[in-house]
Amino acid sequence: MPSDIATKALAAAREAAGAAAEIIRHYWRRGVEIEIKSDATPVTIADREAEQAIRKILQAALPQAAIYGEEFGLEGQSGNLLWLVDPLDGTKSFVRRTPFFSTQIALMDGDELVLGVSSAPIYGETMWASRGEGAWLDGERVNVANTSAISQASISTGNVKTLTADARWDALGQLIRDSNRIRGYGDFCHYHLLARGSLDLVIESDVNILDIAALVVIVREAGGVFTDLDGGPITLDTRSVLAGTPAIHAMALDRLRRQ
């Protein structure tokens, strides 16, 4: 992707995240009614209005790109460029008045994720990254830690329901026992912490690409490694995550592969 398009795309994604944040703050203050979608997950007017605002800005800035969003599906056709949008990732937290939710906006060029913006308006921080330009937290460049021993590692897990029935569950238990500490920050939060050096490994087994696409770019540009639990690439069909510092990711993957 040419550098001028990349620059325009990042500016648009950040503007769109900001517009979504205003809508989300508005409904956070006043409260919302909850609807249940066909997949049994909740949705609110905040989700829908935030996605509409995001789409308007992204379409104006990059009309040649298609957009795939959580609430309104796929719009447009593109040979290469595809926006991935989750306007309010963590709706369950939002409706329970827990600030661990965010807006996730990413751009794919072919099969490669090249740009990501992760905005957590109530938690109070925004991270962004584009390929080759580093990862940034509210304007300050961030990097993963240089942790190189499991005994020193801080591990965070998200939703691991599927993993509990997996042969690798015991390996995860051993990994936790050998680590320095275990936490369960979940959602955007543990990826932000990983990217800025406050965590060393993130494990999840039940994700959607819209939840993680922007965070993939951010963690990688911060110097981390981001794969699925098998060490495979992140694709539109990815359902699990193993993300960490280079050394800790390699050690964890080796242990999980032995099962």
Give the CATH number, domain containing residue 22. Answer: 3.30.540.10
Q: Are 26 and 90 contained in the same domain?
A: yes
pTM for this predicted structure? 0.95
> Considering the domain boundaries, does residue 91 fall inside one?
yes
> Considering the domain boundaries, does residue 225 fall inside one?
yes
Q: Are 219 and 249 contained in the same domain?
A: yes
Question: Which tokens belong to 229?
Answer: 């639990």
Q: 34-43, 75-84, 237-246, 249-258 — which is least confidently predicted?
A: 34-43
Q: Are 216 and 252 contained in the same domain?
A: yes
CB atoms within 10 A of CB 120: 24
* Mean model confidence pLDDT for the chain: 94
184-219: pLDDT as tens digits: 998 999 999 999 999 999 999 999 999 999 999 999
Q: Are 60 and 93 contained in the same domain?
A: yes
* Region 167-178 average pLDDT: 93
Q: Are 80 and 155 contained in the same domain?
A: no
211-249: pLDDT as tens digits: 999 999 999 999 999 999 999 999 999 999 999 999 999
Confidence of residue 259 (pLDDT cuts 50, 70, 90): low
98-145: pLDDT as tens digits: 899 999 999 999 999 999 999 999 999 999 999 999 999 998 999 999
Q: Are 121 and 181 contained in the same domain?
A: no
CA 131 – CA 40 distance, rounded (Å): 35
- Structurally, the chain folds into a number of domains equal to 2
Give the residue from 83, 107, 133 where a domain finishes.
133
> Considering the domain boundaries, does residue 71 fall inside one?
yes
Domain that holds residue 48: 3-133
Question: Which tokens belong to 199?
Answer: 């965590």
